[in-house]
Structures are given as structure tokens and as C-alpha cells.
Amino acid sequence: MVGEHSARVHEEPVSFWRRYIFSTDHKVIGIQYYLTAMAMALVGGTLAMLIRLQLGWPEAKWPLLAKIFPRGMSGGVMNPDFYLALITMHGTLMIFFVISLGLVSGFGNYLLPLHIGARDMAFPFLNMLSYWTVVPACVIILASFFVEGGAAASGWTAYPPLSAVEQAVPGSGLGQTLWLLGMALFIASFTMGGLNFVTTILNERTRGMSMMRLPLFIWTLLIASILGLLAFPPLTAAAILLLFDRHGGTSFFLPSGLYFGERVLPHSGGSPLLWQHLFWFLGHPEVYVLILPALGIALDLLPPFTRKPIFGYRLTVYSLFAIGVLSMIVWGHHMFVSGMNPYVGEFFAIGTLAITIPSAIIGFNLIASLWGARLQLRTPALFALGAIAFFGTGGLGGIFLGNATSDIQLHDTYFVVGHFHFMIGGVTLLALFGGTYYWFPKMFGRMMSERLGKLHFWLTFLSFYAVFLTQHFLGLGGMPRRYYAFSKFEFLAPIRDMNAFISIAAFVLGAAQLIFLVNFFWSLFRGARAEQNPWRATTLEWVAPTPPPHGNWGETVPEVHRWPYDYSVPGAPEDFTPQTVPPTVVTVTQ
């Protein structure tokens, strides 16, 4: 098993199509995923800017925007149903088509074989298939903006009856059908990817790469992939059932007596709560599918810039497993006030708050890894440190929401919006950026600009806090989420003006990402040439040539003799000892 496959050298394809478009090379596929995610992020980010424009100045007129969105912003004023389409698509795109694709599929595909000393993924063809399944998913989901009634408008959670009944909301027409089809394709693709990850990690490790010598990013990918494989199928089933309810006259999620458009609908016997259970059975593990690899990247970016091992490798692995197991049994904390049996709510509250224990251990290990370090604040390190701060802030906010009692007041308010943006928006985005600055030299053979990178970090980090920390407090004030404007309620009068401040900070946050884009494409062509191992790091990808050729390793695959964090080993010639250095040369210290 281990090492057996690594002996074969793949034939390198020569035609342009096989090389760059329908490639089975994990590196090309990883970059394809990454660039796709980047394109989707541009759309998702633009939607966020429009959302903030509306919330900051709900009464204002924007004649210019009326020309770009003649239907959604007729007369320069945003329509409420267009606003709902914006929030729905912003959430859907960012969670599934940006973070999942960029962080998990993008970095996962690019780095996994390089990290474990394999020549490619276990199933290269399946890998290509998974990418080319997600492309139509992207097209379908984007196309929904242009159909009659506009894009889906029932929230990224797509709760029925809103998502099931056409008359309920304009986006519940063809837009919602396309949303469901796009999601089904996305899930099919992500499942193929997950199978590939698990198989590759278990079977394709090179000689000497035992499980406890895996970089933590690979551990997080393994756990995230297993979670994805277990949790996604119920949502596929739910999406298909919802399609039946919409177009086949069934009543899985629709009870009797629904009154829409002056008539009673013929459905009977279903329950909207069933959808919520199925959705969150996926939805909660899904946030760990995103956040665990982000934490893995943060953990792995520290040692090259602290020049010392990570603190508590083993306990981190155990904690990751504990989080993975617990994350499967806590979905009900999204449903404390949904009408679910309150006894069950108690179970979910206790289970949810149990997750804080392994999470706090990981957070502690992250901070403790700095102790005694020779810290070098290069751009990737800044992003990793920022991710620690976000993980702390987001995690602490979660304690309010996992607690059923305080959740009664905070549920569906801006507290929730602030919380999940820190976690699946902030930690993941910083990891995605930190990973990009760090692995860009390996991927493209050039360095990214440090100056622009640091500017990008500081603008992102500070404006992110300004936006989403503030939102926590608006949530305490009772400000409900998914509101098109806050002008109708007197109890919001004391706090609603803070939305203008939040919007300005959000625009800074959005503009900062343009710096990243400029840096990315400028460095692609003009960046300084990278050495093979510019960060003087220990993991296997830096042993490979830059950029790695097809098959990654040339004639012989590397053999591993130590864990990935042998920095500053006493008596070693350098302050980093790559995993390939045999114990006869430098002692193994783990």
C-alpha cells in the first residue's frame, strides 16, 4: 500500500486541452478550482456591497445602479425582493462556491499529493470529473439571476414553504429550481472530491509518512472530507424532495391548509421542520468542513514563521476528531425556537457547548505555539495570526448562540450574522489568503508582493472587526437579520444608524480585496522569481521542484523520516529540517 503507487510516473499530456482544461493533474485541477472560486467571490462580494449599500442608506436613490439592474433597482431604489435574492445568493455563493471550492477543493487538490509525497490523487479521472461537475453548477446558479422572477430569495437555508411555493416570494419561481439543481450538482461534485481526498490520504502516502507525521492541514482535510461524505447526502435527498414538492405535487415539506394568493393549496401531511432538520444535518457539519481546513492552514503557517514546532500536535489531532464527531449531533442548535420539541433543544445545547472544549484546546495551542518563537511577521504569518484572533472572537460568540436560553433573544438577529461571518467568513478567508501568499511561489514560481500583501492584511483585518464585531452588539439590541430596512420599527431607532458606519467599513473591506487581486495577477507575471523553498520550510511540497512537474517528484518519490515541524532542531545545520532528512543526519525530535 504505502509507496506502492508512488513508483509509477504518469505520462505527461502534451495537448493544450488535456494539459490545462480537461487535465487529470491534481495541481491543474487545484488551480482551476481556485480560480473558479475567485471568480465566484467577485460575484458574491459584489452582492455583499449591494446589501451594505441598501442597509447603510435605505432611503437613498442610486440612478446609476438603476441602469445596471433595471429590474432589481427600478428607479434607483432597491426592490425588497431583489434584496432577498442578494442575501440568498451572497450566502450560497460564498459558502458553497467560494470557501468550499477555494479552500477545500482548491488548496486540498493542489497540496494533498504534494504534502503526502504522492504523484497525484488516488482517482485522477474522478478528480477531473468532480471539477467539471461543479462548472455547470456555477453556471446554473449564476444563470438564476437572469430568469423570470430573479434568483432564489428564500435565504441560503431555503426554508419551505418560502422555497417550495411559487406564490410565496418572486424568487421562488425558476430561480429556486435552478438553485436546487445547482446545489445538487455541487454536492455531487463535492462528494466525488471528498471520496478522492479520503482515499488518497489513507492509501497514497509515501514511505515513512505515517498518520502522525501528516501536516495538520492534511488531518483537517481528512476529517472535513469524512464529515462532508456523511452530511451532504441528506441535503441531496432534501433538495430532490423539495423539487418534487415544487414540481411533482408531493407534500414532504408542506402541510395542509396553506393559504396563498386567495386559495388553499392542495398539499397535506408534510412538515416544514423536516426540511430544517435535513438542511442543518448537513448545514452544521458543513461549517466544520470549511473551518477545519482553515484552522489546518493557520496551524501549518505558524511553524515556518515561528521557526519552532506547533504546540500540542497530538492533542490538536484528537481535538479535531472530537469536533468532527460532535459536529454531527448538534444541528438542532439552529432550531431552538423553530417549534422543535424543547426537550431536544436541551440535548442540542449541551452537545453544542461541549464543542467549545476541543475548540478552546485548538485555540490555546495556536496561541501557545507563539511562546518562545522567533516570530517573523511576513504576510502569510499575519494572515495566520489574524485567523487565530477571528477564531477566538467567532468561537466566543458561538457560546451565546449554542446556549438555548440566550439564543431565544439572539436567534435570527445580527448577532448570528456577526458570529458566522467571523467563523466561516473570516477564519476561512484569512486562511485562504494566507495560504495563497504562502503557496503562491510553489504554484506559480514567483513571490507575491509583501508590501501589497501587508496592506491587504491590515485593511481586511481591521475593517472586518469593524463590520462584524459591531454586528454582534446590534444583535444584542434585537436587530433582526434578513431585513431590507430597519426604518419600520421604533425599538431599532437607537441602533439603526450604526449601519452606515458598518457599510463604510464593509466598503473598505471590499476594496481591500481589489488590492489582493492586483497583487495576485501582477505577481503572476511580474513577481520576483521564487527559490525552491523560499520560506525555508520542512514539508514535502518544498522538496519538489518549483513549480512541480507532472508527477511531482521526477524519478524518485521522497521518503519521510520525521514529522513536519522539525524547526530549530538543536545541532542541526539549519533551523529547519525537511521531512526527508534521515535521522542519521539530524536527530528526530518528536
Please state the separation of Cα 36 from the chain's center in Å. Answer: 14
Using the rule CB under 8 A, is 396 a contact of other proteins? yes
CB of 390 vs other proteins, minimal distance in Å: 11
Q: Which of residues 175-204 bind other proteins (CB under 8 A)?
A: none
Residue whose CB is less far from other proteins, 249 or 257: 257
DSSP string, 235-249: HHHHHHHHHHHHHT-
Please state, in angstroms and rounded to a whole number, the distance separating the CA atoms of residues 429 and 467: 15
Subset of residues 320 to 379 that bind other proteins, contact rule: CB under 8 A: 337-339, 342-343, 345-346, 349-350, 353-354, 356-357, 359-361, 363-365, 367-368, 370-377
Task: Give dist(CA 134, CA 273) in Å, integer.
Answer: 29
Q: Name the β-bridge partners of 446.
A: 529
Segment 132-171, which members bind other proteins (CB under 8 A)? 153-155, 159, 161-162, 165, 168-170
Minimum CB separation of residue 297 from other proteins in Å reads: 18
- Pick the stretch among 127-135, 300-308, 506-514, 520-528 that binds other proteins (CB under 8 A): 300-308
Question: Which residues pair with residue 567 across a beta bridge?
Answer: 576
Q: Which is nearer to other proteins, 532 or 590 (CB)?
A: 590
Site for other proteins in 543-572 (CB under 8 A): 567-568, 570
Instruction: Between 87 and 183, name the residue whose CB sits nearer to other proteins.
Output: 87
- Check binding of 59 to other proteins (CB under 8 A): no
Closest distance to other proteins from the beta carbon of 28 (Å): 36
**With binding defined as CB under 8 A, does residue 409 bind other proteins?**
yes
- Comparison of 232 and 420: residue with beta carbon closer to other proteins: 420
**CB-wise, 110 or 486, nearer to other proteins?**
486
With CB under 8 A as the rule, give the number of residues binding other proteins. Answer: 110
Q: Cα 370–285–293 angle (5° rounding)?
A: 35
Among 308, 334, 421, 456, binds other proteins (CB under 8 A): 308
Neighbours of 348 (CB within 10 A): 22
Q: Give the residue among 293, 283, 290, 160 at the shortest CA–CA distance from 231.
A: 283
Range 67-106, binding other proteins (CB under 8 A): 79-81, 84
The residue from 46, 250, 406, 580 that contacts other proteins (CB under 8 A) is: 406
Reduce the DSSP state of residue 567 to 3 states and report it. strand
Residues in the chain: 590
What mask of x and - would describe binding to other proteins in positions 202 to 241, judged by CB under 8 A? Answer: ----------------------------------------
Q: Which amino acid is at 563?
A: W
The amino acid at 311: F
Nearer to other proteins, 195 or 373 (CB): 373
Name the minimum Å distance from CB 58 to other proteins: 9
CA distance 313 to 336: 35
Interactions with other proteins, residue window 372-391 (CB under 8 A): 372-377, 382, 385, 388-389
Q: Which is nearer to other proteins, 6 or 413 (CB)?
A: 413
Distances in Å between the Cα of 436 and the Cα atoms of 69, 99, 478 are: 33, 13, 38
Distance CA 285, CA 291 (A): 10
Return the residue of 4, 12, 497, 575 that touches other proteins, per CB under 8 A.
575
Task: For residues 572 and 256, give the distance between their C-alpha atoms in angstroms, rounded to a whole number.
Answer: 74
If we measure between CA atoms, which residue out of 424, 338, 434 comes closest to residue 381? 434
Q: Does 461 bind other proteins (CB under 8 A)?
A: yes
Q: What is the DSSP string of 339-368?
A: T--HHHHHHHHHHHHHTHHHHHHHHHHHHH
Of 179 and 197, CB closest to other proteins: 179
CB of 225 closer than 8 Å to CB of 198: yes
Q: For Cα atoms 105, 109, 113, give the angle at the middle one, nearest 5 degrees.
A: 155
The H-or-E segment that residue 332 falls in is none
Output 198 or 581, the one with its CB closest to other proteins: 581
Residues pairing with 413 in the sheet: 480
Q: Which is nearer to other proteins, 167 or 236 (CB)?
A: 167
Judged by CB under 8 A, the chain residues 464 through 503 that form the site for other proteins are 465, 469-470, 473, 476-478, 480, 482-486, 488-491, 495
Residue with C-alpha cell 441602469?
Answer: 67
User: Least distance from C-beta 210 to other proteins, angstroms?
Assistant: 17
Cβ pair 579, 564 in contact under 8 A: yes
Q: Considering only residues 273-292, where is the footprint of other proteins by CB under 8 A?
A: 273
250 binding other proteins? (CB under 8 A): no
